[in-house]
Structure 1
């Protein structure tokens, strides 16, 4: 019993220096802007908010929001300290084309740490005969997901970039899956974590094709949009016999750029230093690893976050990519 108590004391003494630092300007509490309740953003955001609050001894929690675009606006204005966004909405917000506040360049939202990837994938019925993007007939009815979603915002543009002529359809993923099966849609273009439940359900009920991009198509999309090459693993769906070539858009946690450097450093340390704990909070955190710091090619880094990645991940972040640098 004495040994256990001593070990606990030693453990505590090792933890204290990480948080016993200059707390000048630290907020008494913080809020993380996430997304709709029940979605990945809300679950993931609630998880890291709790971890950061516990480690830093500051009250914190998640708030339901409209997702990536709104989070950029909320963090930029300081209405919430932290948020989560994807590279696409971040780029649009910095350029002043965020539909929430057209013309406002949201440059006071800074990158904090990498979260996970949102892959873009294409699904059709096997009976359609569509086996590639080039096979999609002119005027095809394509379901792009809920209106205003990341999928609906970017996938239509990607299809246009690849020369596809289509009629745009919106709806929830399950609803679109039913429409595809009923012959009301020709293609569904998903931007969601894999396996997408609607696709898994479809392949149980009927034969489908999961369309991969060619290397040329992948490169063309990656050049035009803030996405990275991605492979959908063969074990994601029973339909696949080999990995399917795709692209993905990274999700990043963001911070108001005016937050104290030591505070943001502490939050990043809490989240990035123990991936197992983050994965326990949400499975999507399996990609929340320090080595993926370089997936941010859009936003300037918060100085506290940049310092953490330089010190702990060997990050080579240029001075002009750090806020105030």
Structure 2
């Protein structure tokens, strides 16, 4: 598994003098630089991941940044092999990767990617142009061209199955969120099915440029999805987008940042401390970071914890993480 797995690369570097607090760590075995696997530009992963990467680089005096990837499945592979120090994933793709059913490397059990900190929930939402006449899932015509995001992403992995469960007949299209937004606006797509933290930058950009419909699940549709997939109930609040006048019914999956399990304990402890100790700074990066708080450590019941992250949550959040859920303990 090499960097060739990446669908693209866009690394933003940030270097600054380390604050005094960072110098309390023994940094002798720390890497001089790091990358964070994110997803395509125009999506929440890229904005959120590049933001916290730059924050960590600045606070710890290292060179580091976010890197464009194919999303959660690819991030699990890159972090497992050490081609990326850090990444971000949703729990569905994480479960498939641990089980050896990640389509990037079928049969490889990716057990060397460890949980580091909770991020936010990924809602599943659907967007169409207002002049399309599509106002509900049942309005989506047979053979509709639906953009599901980058190949192997959380959206591409689960949303097509959800649409099939709901009886939608479609043509599957893939691409980066910004590119798909442009295709929707140009009439090359009928619908985009987003799985990304809200507000999704591509949707925010679309609604400034044209009139759109944000399509929610009906109660019956959501009940079908909840029964068939590893998701939870979610409501996209009305203040998320200008287009919404009331909360939109949805479902969601939790996202966690991940670290290569072989990274030094003190390094991962320091990174976790930077991200988790000041939520206001994270909120300035992306509003989805409202859920990036210590109390959400318990949303991971799947991935082994990195020892440095587990120590931080035990010390600062009273986390009762059992030894058998910590790598190497």
Q: Deviations over 1:83-125 (max 9, x none)?
A: 2223233222212122332211110100101223332211345
Displacement of 1:155: 0.9
Return closer, same or farther for 1:25/1:198 CA change in 2, 3 Å cut-off: closer
Counterpart CA distance in 1 for 2:204 and 2:24 is 48
> Do structure 1's residue 314 and structure 2's residue 318 form an aligned pair?
yes
- Of the three residues 54, 59, 62, the one matched with 2:65 is 62
State how 1:1-325 maps to structure 2 within 5 Å. 16=21, 20-21=24-25, 23=26, 26-35=29-38, 38-39=41-42, 40-56=44-60, 59-62=62-65, 64-66=67-69, 67-125=71-129, 130-171=134-175, 172-179=179-186, 182=187, 185-196=189-200, 199-200=203-204, 208-325=212-329
- The alignment covers a number of residue pairs equal to 306
Alpha-carbon distance in structure 1 between the residues aligned to 2:55 and 2:201: 28
Question: Relative to 1, partners in 2 of residues 1:225 and 1:309: Cα closer, same or farther, differing over 3 Å?
Answer: farther
Q: 1:252 to 1:60 in 2, by over 3 A?
A: farther
* Residue-by-residue CA offset, 1:162-191 (whole Å, 9 max, x unaligned): 333323234522233225xx4x65433222
Kindly indicate which of the two structures has a greater share of residues assigned to helix. 1
In the TM superposition, residue 260 of structure 1 has moved relative to its aligned partner by 3.0
The structure that has the greater radius of gyration is: 1
Task: Give, in whole Å, the separation in 1 of the partners of 2:210 and 2:41.
Answer: 28
TM-score of the pair, normalised by structure 2: 0.77
The answer as to whether partners of 1:234 and 1:243 remain within 8 angstroms in 2 is yes
Alpha-carbon shift at residue 129 of structure 1 (Å)? 5.4
Distance 1:321 1:133, change over 3 A: farther
TM-score (norm 1): 0.78
CA distance in 1, matches of 2:237, 2:120: 15
Whether the 8 Å contact between 2:37 and 2:78 is mirrored in structure 1 is no
Secondary structure in 1 matching 2:172: strand
In 2: Cα distance, 1:284 partner to 1:38 partner: 16
Q: 1:216: how far off?
A: 4.4
CA RMSD of superposed structures (Å): 3.3
- Tell me how far apart the structure 1 counterparts of residues 236 and 169 of structure 2 sit (CA, whole Å): 25
Q: Distance in 2 between matches of 1:106 and 1:223?
A: 27
Distance 1:38 1:162, change over 3 A: closer
How far did 1:36 drift? 5.8
Change (3 A) 1:211 1:47: closer
Contact 1:42 1:62 in 2 (8 A): no
Compared with structure 1, are the counterparts of its residues 141 and 47 closer, same or farther at alpha carbon in structure 2 (3 Å cutoff)?
closer
Secondary structure (helix, strand or coil) at the match of 2:29 reads coil
CA separation of 1:83 and 1:238: change in aligned 2, threshold 3 A:
closer
How far is 1:82 from its partner? 1.9
Structure 2 runs not aligned, ≥5 long? 1-18
The question of whether the paired residues in 2 share the 8 Å contact of 1:142 and 1:166 is answered with yes
Partner SS for 2:106: coil
Kept in 2, the 8 Å contact 1:250–1:295? The answer is yes
Could you tell me how far 1:131 is from its partner in structure 2? 4.0
Q: Aligned partners of 1:177 and 1:140: how far apart in 2?
A: 12
Greater shift in the superposed pair: 112-121 or 264-273: 112-121
